[in-house]
Amino acid sequence: MRKILLLALAAIVAGCATRPARDALPSAVQQALAQAAVPADALAAVALPLGHAAAPWRYRAELPMQPGSAMKVVTSIVALDRLGPNHRGYTELRTAAPLQGGELQGDLLLKGGADPELDVARFWALLVDLRQRGVQHIRGDLLVDRTLFRPARMDLGVPPFDESPEFAYNVIPDALQLAGSLLPLELSSEGGTLRASTVPPLPGIEFTSRMALTERACKDWDDDWKAAQVQPQEGRTLIELQGGFPRDCTQRTALQLIDRLELAERLFRALWQELGGRWDGVAREAPAPEGTRLLVRHEGRPWGEVLRHMNKQSDNAQARLLFLSLGVPRMALAPQASTAELAAQEVRAWLAEHGIADAGLVLDNGSGLSRSERITPAQLAGMLEAAWRGPHAADLMMSLPVAGVDGTLRRRLKDGPASGWARLKTGTLRNVVALAGYVNDPEGRPWAVAMMVNHERASHARPVLDALVDSIARHGLPGAAP
């Protein structure tokens, strides 16, 4: 009898250890799927217990799925481990020319070091430091060095991701990333006429408008936007605005309307003249020549701090910049490979070190703004589990949107037990919705979760994911008892 009982117990333990890949869906999730008219097989999800003995819960967990911006969790976890939360981008002004009597008698080098926040104000402060070093007149050119990454200009020759290439989420970053590669603008229709200007004023940029004034709310100003017509001419660029804009509305924005080399030249010239400087040359792309010396340097905030904005606001350009930074240490060892390829190798190496299989994983740019990136919920939740046990767990959790409170989750899960507790990165594409992060069950036990819907009606399926999070926080999961 004892032998039979032992065999039965062994069978039960073995059954728990080999739980099926498709556990039961909570009833609230089934109802949400029905209401969204999305089939259950469009959903894949997993929940892994963290530091307690409950059984994992899986639903099609090994299926490679498009994660949308939930892929930023992958980039964040590996970057925190490989680069560290104190890793910083930088921008330098260097020269090989002599400085005599306030005159720099040659070229000035502007070297990009992947600073994710090199806005106009920080660039102006860098030029103030240059004036403080005694430079007043620059006789040579401005050499723009983006060669930290390979290729230096990944944006060239790439077709638009969608029909709105001028908006910030579509920027393909480079190592300089001055002003986010965006032209800062003010649009105003007060007084019944649309006026557009750059901020700060940039001589040589001229606007005309064919925009109709509408009754739309000012906050929805971009709903009627149509691609502007941009015509470079000798010494100036004409920008014709099209579409519609709300009446009696003023908006500050920044759009990808001119080439980033032109943007660097016009910003440098305008700000340098404002500081009382003179410049005789032009801007041109060039790697750093031999023998330059450092004049001034600006360091960005630590990436451990920048992650808070990147993940809570789902900043694609910052995520892509951080992903590329992962590949930089490998560049000298593989001179023929692109930085993006080397970054992907770094992610796969991290997975291997943590015992997570990479079958089905497809890496592109690390932001999720991609038609090709794929990851399984099991892989993503496994990474979250490993990060939770690692030294940078607090940095990662701090960066994730809090349910019902901030970031891309501020209007979701507001009234349930997950509000204020669950920390989850969202993901959204035309055919994708996703959530990945951490949720506590009714007993306060933490879970690493990853859930994705890939379907043509995915935009209707956010309530499905919210129902699953709410079910975990409110009731726990079916079969999740120790």
pLDDT at 480: 54
Answer for the pair 435, 451: CB distance below 8 angstroms, yes or no.
yes
pTM (2 d.p.): 0.93
Residues 6+ apart with CB under 8 A from 102: 134, 135, 136, 137
The answer to whether the beta carbons of residues 393 and 411 sit under 8 Å apart is no
Name 253's Cβ contacts closer than 8 Å, sequence gap at least 6: 184, 185, 187, 222
Distance CA 363, CA 360 (A): 10
Q: Which two tokens stand for residue 42?
A: 């469009």
pLDDT (tens digit per residue) in 137-195: 999 999 999 999 999 999 999 999 999 999 999 999 999 999 999 999 999 999 889 99
CA distance 292 to 62: 52
* Ordered domains of the chain (ranges, CATH): 20-86+305-475 (3.40.710.10)
pLDDT of residue 479: 59
pLDDT per residue over 332-341, tens digit each?
999 999 999 9
Residue 257 near residue 168 (C-beta atoms within 8 A): no
Q: Contact 451/12 with Cβ under 8 angstroms?
A: no
Angstrom distance (rounded) from CA 216 to CA 223: 9
Low-confidence ranges of the chain (pLDDT < 50): 1-20, 481-482
Which pLDDT value is given to residue 10?
42
| Run of H or E residues at 31 | helix 27-36
Q: What is the pLDDT of residue 1?
A: 41
At residue 23, the pLDDT reads 85
Q: How many other CB atoms sit within 10 Å of the CB of residue 330?
A: 16
